[in-house]
Amino acid sequence: MIINNYNIKEYQKKHYWKGIGTRSDPIIIDSIKDPYELLWFEKIDYNIILRNITIERINLKNSQNISIENSRIFEIWVDKSYYLSIINNSIYKIVLFEAKSCTIKGNKIHNPIREIEANYYAKLLDKFLIFFSFILIFISSIFLLHGLFENSEFLKSSRTTAFIISLFICSIIFLLFVFQRRYERRDIEKLPPNININNQTTNLTEEFKNFLKLKENLIKKI
């Protein structure tokens, strides 16, 4: 379920969650019908406390003022969110992306907390540009080889030949530019100083074996 400022009251009535969402009376989420459901909070600024629940995954995106306490969560993903509190939980994996002013402590965690750099999307763009460059090089190479070995009518025009050769050269230059950009870029500090982290890394394989089996079955189906 994807919860935001506009539909949270509907979910609250449906699941009988108490509270009005203020600091003095936060919305208490203490019951989830399906533990294998994805609980996704996006653009939320209500005060919310998740307490004593078992769930496969929680996503927090562009949200604030959310606390997760005394729960069992297989995965938590935090994306551009702040003023979060994740305390005294059993968690298999946590991934942070541009999290700010968060407190993550007293948890039992299977995998060390993973912090994704702020230039994650820049790297994703670079991968796309590299792929695009290889496609251009491949297409232009096919035309060139076809013209050289098959005496193609298409390449008899000097303008067409010049265009294909230019495309090939520009693709290589473009690819070199992307590689240079990747080499020169500097990653930001992975762990911002305003995140308070103090947890116990431990083996939780047995505790989360049902979630792990579900993941394995999904992978096999793919």
Answer yes or no: is 106 within a domain.
yes
Same domain, 54 and 106: yes
pLDDT of residue 150: 56
- The predicted pLDDT at position 49 comes to 94
Q: Answer yes or no: is 100 within a domain.
A: yes
Say whether both 105 and 156 belong to one domain: no
- Are residue 9 and residue 100 in the same domain, yes or no? yes
The reply to whether 128 falls in a domain is yes
Does 72 share its domain with 101?
Answer: yes
Give the distance between the most distant pair of CA atoms in the chain.
80
Task: Give residue 187's pLDDT.
Answer: 39
Shared-domain flag, residues 175 and 206: no
- Partners of residue 104 on adjacent β-strands: 86, 197
Same domain, 66 and 143: no
Residue 209 resides in a domain: yes
The residue-averaged pLDDT of 39-63 equals: 90
Q: Looking at the structure, do residues 133 and 39 belong to the same domain, yes or no?
A: no
What are the pLDDT digits (tens) for 93-132?
Answer: 888 887 778 888 888 888 777 665 545 556 666 677 777 7
pLDDT of residue 121: 59
Q: Note whether residue 112 is domain-resident.
A: yes
In a domain, 207, yes or no: yes
Average pLDDT value for residue range 81-103: 86
Residue 165, judged by CB atoms within 10 A of its CB (0-12, 13-18, 19+), counts as middle
Mean pLDDT on 19-26: 91
pLDDT at 181: 58
- Residue 79 and residue 13 in one domain: yes
Assess whether 8 and 108 both reside in one domain. yes
Give the tokens for residue 88: 């005294």
DSSP states of the chain as a string?
-EE-TTTHHHHHHHHT-B--SSSSS-EEE---S-TTSEEEEES--S-EEEES-EEEEEEEES-EEEEEES-EEEEEEEES-EEEEEES-EEEEEEEES-BS-EEEEEEESSPPEEE-TTHHHHHHHHHHHHHHHHHHHHHHHHHHHHHHH--GGGSSHHHHHHHHHHHHHHHHHHHHHHHHHHH--PPPSS-TT-EEEEEE---TTTTHHHHHHHHHHHHH-
Q: Which residue has the higher pLDDT, 182 or 54?
A: 54
Residue 210 has a pLDDT of 77
In the block, tokens 């505790």 appear at 207
Spatial separation of the C-alpha atoms in residues 20 and 64, rounded to whole Å: 16
What is the C-alpha separation between 28 and 153, in angstroms, rounded?
A: 73
Q: Do 7 and 113 reside in the same domain of the chain? A: yes
Domains in the chain, number: 2
Q: Quote the CA–CA distance of 212 and 221 in Å, as a whole number.
A: 14
Does residue 129 sit in the same domain as residue 156?
Answer: yes
The pLDDT value given to residue 201? 72
Q: Looking at the structure, do residues 97 and 197 belong to the same domain, yes or no?
A: yes
Q: Kindly indicate the confidence band of residue 26, based on its pLDDT and cuts at 50, 70 and 90.
A: very high
Rounded CA separation 84/185 (Å): 30
pLDDT of residue 156: 56
With 0.75 as the threshold, say if the pTM is over it.
no
Give the model's pLDDT for residue 137: 72
Letter for the amino acid at 213? K
pLDDT in tens, 177-209: 666 655 544 433 344 445 566 777 777 777 777
- 219 within some domain: no
Tell me if 180 is assigned to some domain. yes
Q: What is the pLDDT of residues 132-172, one digit of tens each?
A: 777 777 777 776 666 655 555 555 566 666 666 777 777 77
Cβ(74)–Cβ(211) below 8 Å: yes
Domain membership of residue 179 as a residue range? 120-184
